[in-house]
Amino acid sequence: MIELYGKKLENFDDLPVLSETIIKLLALLDDINSTNKQIARIISLDVVLSAKIISLANSPLYASNKPVNDVLQAIMKLGRAEIKNMAMTIKFSSALKKIQLKNINLDMFWKHSLATAFLSNKLMKEYLDKKYYRAEQQSSFYIAGLLHDIGLLIFDILDPDKLEELEKIAERIKNNIAEVELNETKYIHSKEGEKLLKEMGLPESISYPVGYHHNSVDSKDYEGISAIVNISDVFASQFGYYPLQSVVYNHNIDEPIKLTSLSDLSDEDFKIAYDELKSATEMFISFAGLMLGSQ
């Protein structure tokens, strides 16, 4: 049993949860003692997942002269981190298609999640000093970005009328939904999302940054991932991908940006980098839409 937004839940039937199989797969991908054949065997049990991974491996994004014919070849070509990100993206997309919401635009939520995941991965690689994370945590940036707003989905499923009320307040006073949640209730979607991800068995390197993506300056662990997801969440909204209108209001990311080399850029160079990130994000969203479809 888990309590989310004050409601005690016996099961996750109505929530966008990940299957035990994908959780086991993620653990196996992280296990240095596991073999690629073991990983391929588990993926191959899921026909849809297998087909999409092979299709993605043969897509223009990863194209090479040698075609990929099976899952094992895809793993060897792309590497475990990329397979992990792919598998999570495909399965989270499937989970979203099973839910219905009153307030959140599901297609825009999906694009916001993809944008935040893509930006988290890109900012980590290009602008974050490696002292802020271990090599094996690299894929956590993408996945934490992908799942960062799962708490908003929980809110809209469990108490849609309250979310609608808070959204109206947020729009009236031009403040973001997270701030309004804290002011009007004792809950905030980032921490509720963290609780669900922990309950599902996801590692702390993913669940913890999700819990701190609105206040990464208070993060004592996984400081780098939390800061990057915080920045990426705001950038994604600024780029036009936002599931609720109020998420665009009143964000200050000066402190998390100080952890990155973005803070070393001149105003002109920052604008160039920002525009390049926006263009790259738009390309990624378009590609993902072609390969995975909309919600």
Domain CATH for 178:
1.10.3210.10
- Provide the pairing of β-strand 7-9 with 2-4: antiparallel
Predicted TM-score (pTM) of this structure: 0.93
Same domain, 154 and 35: no
- Tell me if 144 sits within 8 A of 209, measured CB to CB: yes
Same domain, 165 and 276: yes
Residue carrying the six token digits 């994000």: 281
For the chain, the farthest-separated pair of C-alpha atoms sits apart, in whole angstroms, at 57
Q: What is the pLDDT of residue 135?
A: 75
Q: What is the pLDDT of residue 220?
A: 81
> Do the domain assignments include residue 63?
yes
3-state secondary structure of 215: coil
Q: Which of 78, 98, 118 is the last residue of a domain?
A: 98
- Tell me if 93 sits within 8 A of 109, measured CB to CB: no
> Do the domain assignments include residue 8?
no
Q: Which of 31, 66, 98 is the last residue of a domain?
A: 98
Residue type, 289: G
Q: What is the pLDDT of residue 248?
A: 73
Residue numbers of the domain that contains 51: 17-98
Q: Which of 98, 132, 166 is the last residue of a domain?
A: 98
Distance of alpha carbon 81 from alpha carbon 74, whole angstroms:
12
3-state secondary structure 8-62: EECCCCCCCCCCHHHHHHHHHHHCCCCCHHHHHHHHHCCHHHHHHHHHHHCCCCC
- Tell me if 207 sits within 8 A of 225, measured CB to CB: no
Same domain, 111 and 256: yes
Could you state, in chain order, the average pLDDT of each consecutive group of 10 residues for the chain (295 residues)?
A: 85 79 88 93 92 88 82 93 92 89 93 97 95 84 96 94 94 89 92 94 93 88 93 95 79 92 97 98 89 67
Same domain, 187 and 287: yes
> Do the domain assignments include residue 11?
no
Same domain, 295 and 226: yes
Same domain, 200 and 153: yes
Residue type, 44: S
- Residue 190: name the closest of 198, 123, 68 by CA: 198
Q: What is the pLDDT of residue 293?
A: 64
Same domain, 85 and 107: no
- Please give the tally of structural domains in the chain: 2
- Residue 151: name the closest of 211, 230, 98 by CA: 211
3-state secondary structure of 239: coil
